Amino acid sequence: MFNRKNILLCLVIFLLFSTYSCLDFKQPNPDIRYYTLEYGSPEYTGKAQRPYIIKLENFKISPVYDTTNIIYRKEAYERDSYTYYRWRVNPSDLVTYLVGRDLKSSGLFKGVVLPGERNRDTSFRVEGIIDEFYELDGTREWNGVLSISISVTPEENGKNVFQKTYKAAEKCEKKNPASLAEALSKAMEKISSEITEDLYDYTGE
């Protein structure tokens, strides 16, 4: 009888151990959603092409927004970020790419050299810093806020350095990150177009 009880006890312990070992106590991976900016490059007609090659440097970014986290602001001096919503790449890389893409597609310049590309015959160097890239949460509406400062330096011809800050705030149609991405896309399209037009005018003086 004693042996039978021991056998049953061992069997129960074995079954419990087997069940425990099969359980997965790991937490499921969070469902993170990634966002980017999307818009078509502005088109230009009726303007003669400038005989210059533009060198675009990698844009820098304010330390507050130097992250793939989506940053939002509710109160002055406060910044926070979403847990499960992020940008696909760092905003500095995204903005640099879009400005370069739009300058190239404009056809207004002889050439545009992007970061990482080489060309010894560049005429002007474009540098920039992203001052603001965030969601502004108001009581009635949300806005996507984008601010970029650029400087254009001539390589040889003695022109003065051109500097300007561009800022745009676009309303989010809904209070969610997807609408923020749409609003910032509109802001980026507007600012990129202004940069292209100002660079065209500056190089023609």
Those residues of the chain that have pLDDT short of 50 are 1-2, 20-26
CA within 13 Å, CB half, 177? 17
CA distances from 113 to 41, 96, 126, 149 (A): 17, 12, 10, 19
Q: What ranges make up the beta strands (E) of the chain?
A: 33-35, 50-56, 60-61, 69-73, 80-87, 109-113, 124-137, 142-154, 162-171
Give me the pLDDT at residue 25, please.
Answer: 46
Write out the H or E segment, with its range, that includes residue 185.
Answer: helix 177-203
Give me the pLDDT at residue 30, please.
Answer: 75
Output DSSP code: residue 63: G
Contact 84, 110 (CB under 8 A): no
Name the one residue in this structure whose structure tokens are 């202004």: 194
Segments in 34-176 forming alpha helices (H): 91-106
Interval 67-93: pLDDT, tens: 999 999 999 999 999 999 999 999 999
Interval 88-127: pLDDT, tens: 999 999 999 999 999 999 999 999 999 988 877 899 999 9
Give me the pLDDT at residue 121, please.
Answer: 86
Contact 156, 52 (CB under 8 A): no
Name the one residue in this structure whose structure tokens are 């502004």: 136
Give me the pLDDT at residue 119, please.
Answer: 74
Which value, to the nearest 10 degrees, does the dihedral of the CA atoms of residues 174, 175, 179, 185 take? Answer: 120
Give me the pLDDT at residue 23, please.
Answer: 44
**pTM more than 0.85:** no
